[in-house]
Chain A
């Protein structure tokens, strides 16, 4: 009688995926340049850690941005009481302006359409609640971020139907693939309510070109279904071709589009490196959705303390312009260094110009073209090479052998260590084709029930290169 809900006791949270499982190995043996030089290097976490020095300089110059300092405290009471789900006007204005700047000011965003959410995680779930009823479905191109299984399906009862993309055309989304997925959904008696695209793509690190975007918009208009554009990596486009946002496409003369179908998910977690501050945004061109999402935002409002900080920071035009440029520059350099070094040992990856990761091609290292072989190789990489990377299967990739490897969440030294390990492994592999079977017997990394972020975060919350031996944040841990 007192059982819990099916949602609570089922597996819909998606945390049994290998995406989260790999973090366990990292947690039990995390790399540290001095204390644990042989530990596992975390390359499975899409964080942007390259710009913190830049941001800290701004913070020092602007103590009033923190509402609790002497300079900001006269606003403390107002902030502390502010729980209006419309969000602070200055916060919305600043975020709208930032979103515009990230798109080269080619479009303007309306602050009144900015709706808060508990990170992009909250934004996706909210949109699913607004756009679909239980049993209905969204189409999602593969490979896609594993968290979508939880965010879009878990508590909403909505289904996801994959749109298969192939390496043969660099995983581009084709009209045929979209149509095929649509038909498949219908055959399964699922009413398709929308299409979710991530642009720039996670895990590919590529952007959608103009033609593809127009194709996508044409498709959803024809089928009269929604389009959710997850653009949380928009500011991480570090190289040509230039990013094209859904918001730009719908303004083009030759594009016919019912704007009530268009919605954008945004966040500051990737572009600014602030995942801890939980700043998620739902931006919809549909008034009813804005209104409903806003009511739902009660379940995940952004702390007013954080709204104030972000409003201050992003209202500073000079800072924002400099930040966007600097971030691109650092990402470009890191990406170039990483991919060049990899290609020197014959490791290729999908040509990419965005994101905090590369889509690494290890197909030739597979014992056979199967996902079992991919898992075997993955275990070797974790246990032997001591790198936590994310296997393509956890992203629902249709072809085995691809791995997402993050490069922006560590310092230069750690990056160098990671590369040298890869070099060693590849050379060893070339000398004698070490049968993966043998290596695998050394460890049995079971795809067990895992605890997601606790695997990641405790006990070492620090990024591997932090100068402090233990994070002050965990000192009080009991």
Chain B
């Protein structure tokens, strides 16, 4: 007799994925500039560490918000007792205003339609509980955030069917890919309940084009299904093209009174845009009052601490601060992304052109020993264990083409990034020489050239390998 539930013994929590295994390795041997300079550099964590000074200086200037005070009065007791799942009104107001500001004020959000949750993790799971059950599926474009397997499927019983995107068109969503995914779900006897997209995309770092967004709206209208738009990276768009929210598209197409309006839901969070993942601030925004009502009740299982709501309501209500923060943060992200891209270039590695996010989608296909996922894993293991960089293999993001890796750039100092790029450059050079010398060796044996020259270069590759370790 099984003493525990099937959820305990199955693997749907997704933590046996390489995405998480890489972290475990990092934890065993983390890089530290002083204490562990040969350790593994964490490049698998999509954190934004570039703008804490801005947050800290705001805190220094606003001591009341920090110490449970408002207008000189202590409101500790009121906060300690406040467990209303409708959330602190002042915080919701500040949050919807912030969301609007990020979207260039082209759309506004109603506080009555927002539900606060413990992080986007909780928001996504809650929405899934509201919209789907066992036997249902959501379509997701690949590659996608590995955590979705846990958040959307584990406890809900729902399934994910991939919308396969390919490098041939920059991984954009196409009509045929959508249709193919829908058919696949039907073949698997699954009822398609909706599509979930991440815009800006994790792991691609790109914003969705208007064409793609229009395509999605048409598709969900036609199939009469839901659309969840996970926009947690909306505030990280640092260069053109400008971010277009799904809400903006609906507004532009004057669909507010249509049926599709109530089937579009947005997920938000302050973990990426404000760099506050520890505070567990997530939100569901929906135009369907029934979804809002159900999600609100479910949020009981993961409310946002009132202490945190209060602090952030003060911070986000400070419009001068939010304006400055968003602007400076964008500049810093752009600068840092440029550094990563140029560092990669020097190493002979390219990446998908991106304008958002805290990472780049890096093309290492040319470094694979074969066009297979086994080769991708081989390469990944060498990068983690030998080059000592924790990056995320594309297979963990369900990419259908081997050789792509997500590499984060905003969670470390500039010096650490520089070092990471140097390590990568050395590694790539050594592989290239190795490949070259192997190739030449083959040529020699065929053409009968002077062997001693090439034996020498093969030798020197081995020597170099010893140094890397």
Residues of A near any B CB (own CB < 8 A): 1-2, 4-9, 13, 15, 47, 49, 52, 55-56, 59, 63, 66, 68-70, 72-73, 76-77, 79-83, 118-119, 121-122, 125, 129-133, 150-151, 155, 224, 226, 260-261, 269, 273-278, 286, 288-289, 292, 295-296, 298-306, 309, 451-454, 456-458, 461-463, 466, 468, 471-478
Residues of A near B15 (CB, < 8 A) are 295
Known contacts A458-B86, A473-B82; is-contact A4 B301 (Cβ 8 Å): no
List 8 other contacts, CB 8 Å, given A2-B224, A452-B297. Answer: A1-B223, A129-B155, A288-B9, A295-B15, A303-B304, A303-B308, A473-B82, A478-B111
- Report how far A466 CA is from B79 CA in the complex, Å: 13
13 contacting pairs across A/B (C-beta < 8 A): A1-B223, A5-B133, A15-B297, A49-B81, A52-B77, A68-B66, A70-B63, A81-B278, A118-B302, A224-B1, A278-B118, A278-B305, A298-B121
Question: Top 6 nearest A-B pairs by Cβ distance?
Answer: A304-B278, A276-B306, A68-B66, A457-B84, A476-B90, A300-B302
A302 pairs with B131, CB closer than 8 A:
no
Complex: A281 Cα to B291 Cα, angstroms:
29
Could you tell me the distance in whole angstroms from the C-beta of B240 to the nearest C-beta in chain A? 29
Name the CB-closest residue of A to B263.
Answer: A2
In the complex, which of the residues A8, A150, A224 has the most CB atoms of chain B within 10 Å of its own CB atom?
A8
| Bound CA span A434–B206, Å | 73
State in angstroms the CA–CA spacing of A72 and B63 once bound together. Answer: 11
- Let me know if A276 and B81 touch, CB within 8 A: yes
Cβ-closest chain A residue relative to B157: A134
Q: Is the interface of B mostly helix, strand, loop or mixed?
A: helix
A80 contacts B79, C-beta separation under 8 Å: no
B65-99 CB contacts (< 8 Å) to partner A? 65-68, 70-71, 73-86, 88-90, 93
Task: Decide: A303 and B77 in contact? CB cutoff 8 A.
Answer: no
Contacting A69 at CB < 8 Å: which of B67, B89, B276? B67
Contact A454 B4 (CB under 8 A): no
**Are B301 and A73 interface neighbours, CB within 8 A?**
no
The residues of A that contact B79 with a CB separation of less than 8 Å are: 276, 473
B302-354 interface (Cβ within 8 A of A): 302-308, 310-311, 313
Nearest A residue to B126 by beta-carbon distance?
A299
Which residue on chain A has the smallest CB distance to residue B132? A5
Shortest A456–chain B CB gap in Å is: 7
A171 to B263, CA, bound (A): 49
Chain A proximity mask over B124-160: 1 for CB below 8 Å, otherwise 0:
0100011111001000000000000010000100000
- Contact-size category for B: 35 or more
**B193 at interface by CB-CB < 8 Å:** yes
The one of A56, A80, A260, A457 in contact with B52, judged by C-beta atoms closer than 8 angstroms, is A80
Bound Cα distance from A477 to B313, whole angstroms: 12
B4 touches A301 (CB 8 A): no
Across the interface, name the chain B residue whose C-beta is closest to A307.
Answer: B278
A81 to B297 CA separation, bound complex (whole angstroms):
28
Output the least CB separation between B147 and chain A (Å).
Answer: 8
From B271, which residue of chain A is reached at the shortest CB distance?
Answer: A83
The one of B13, B76, B224, B263 in contact with A52, judged by C-beta atoms closer than 8 angstroms, is: B76
Q: How many A-B residue pairs have CB under 8 A?
A: 272
| B78 lies within 8 A of A472 (CB) | yes
Chain B neighbourhood of A70, CB < 8 A:
60, 63, 66
User: B59 touches which one: A76, A132, A299, A302 (CB < 8 A)?
Assistant: A76
Inter-chain contact A2/B83, CB cutoff 8 Å? no
Q: Assess the B150–A298 pair: CB atoms within 8 A.
A: yes
B3, A275: Cβ atoms closer than 8 Å = no
Q: Mark B99-129, 1 if CB is under 8 A from A, else 0.
A: 0000000000001000000110110010001
If the complex has contacts A5-B130, A129-B5, are A305 and B60 also in contact, measured as CB distance less than 8 A? no
Q: In the complex, what distance in Å separates the CA atom of A125 from the CA atom of B155?
A: 11
Q: Indicate if the CB atoms of B305 and A260 lie closer than 8 Å.
A: no
* With contact pairs A292-B7, A298-B150 given, residues A155 and B155 touching in the complex (Cβ less than 8 Å): yes
The closest CB in chain A to the CB of B122 belongs to: A299
Contact A300 B118 (CB under 8 A): yes
User: Which of B4, B125, B277 has the largest count of A CB atoms less than 10 A from its CB?
Assistant: B4
Question: Which residue on A lies nearest to B308, using beta carbons?
Answer: A303
When chains A and B are docked, how far (Å) is the Cα of A82 from the Cα of B311? 17
Contact of B65 among A6, A68, A300 (CB under 8 A): A68
Q: Is the CB of B305 within 8 A of A303?
A: yes
Chain A min CB distance to B332 (Å): 15
B280 located at the interface, meaning its Cβ lies under 8 Å from any Cβ of chain A in the complex: yes
Alpha-carbon distance between A8 and B86 when the two chains are bound, in angstroms: 17
Task: Determine if B49 and A77 form an interchain contact, defined as CB atoms under 8 angstroms apart.
Answer: yes
In this assembly, does B368 line the interface, its C-beta being within 8 Å of a C-beta of chain A? no
Q: Find out whether the CB atom of B301 lies under 8 angstroms from the CB atom of A122.
A: yes
| A-side contacts of B191, CB under 8 Å | 1
Chain B residue at minimal CB-CB distance from A291: B8
B15 CB to closest chain A CB, in angstroms? Answer: 6
Query: Once the chains bind, are A131 and B4 in contact (CB under 8 Å)?
Result: yes
- In the complex, the chain B residue whose C-beta lies closest to that of A191 is B1
A306–B293 Cα gap in the complex (Å)? 27
| Interface contact B308-A4, CB-CB below 8 Å | no
Query: Cβ of B253 < 8 Å from any Cβ of A?
Result: no
Residues of chain A within 8 A (CB-CB) of B172 are none
The reply on B419 being an interface residue by CB < 8 A is no
Query: Which residue of A47, A118, A131 contacts B301 across the interface (Cβ within 8 Å)?
Result: A118
- Min Cβ gap B120→A in Å is 11
Task: Tell me if B129 and A8 are in contact (CB < 8 A).
Answer: yes
Docked-complex contact A132 and B129, CB < 8 angstroms: no
Q: A260 CA to B2 CA in the complex, in Å?
A: 13
Residue of A nearest to B136 (CB): A5
Q: How far is the CA of A472 from the CA of B271 in the complex (A)?
A: 27
* Alpha-carbon distance between A125 and B89 when the two chains are bound, in angstroms: 27
Q: Which residue of B lies closest to A260 (CB)?
A: B3
Instruction: From known contacts A133-B6, A300-B122, infer whether A76 and B52 are also in contact, taking CB-CB under 8 Å.
Output: yes
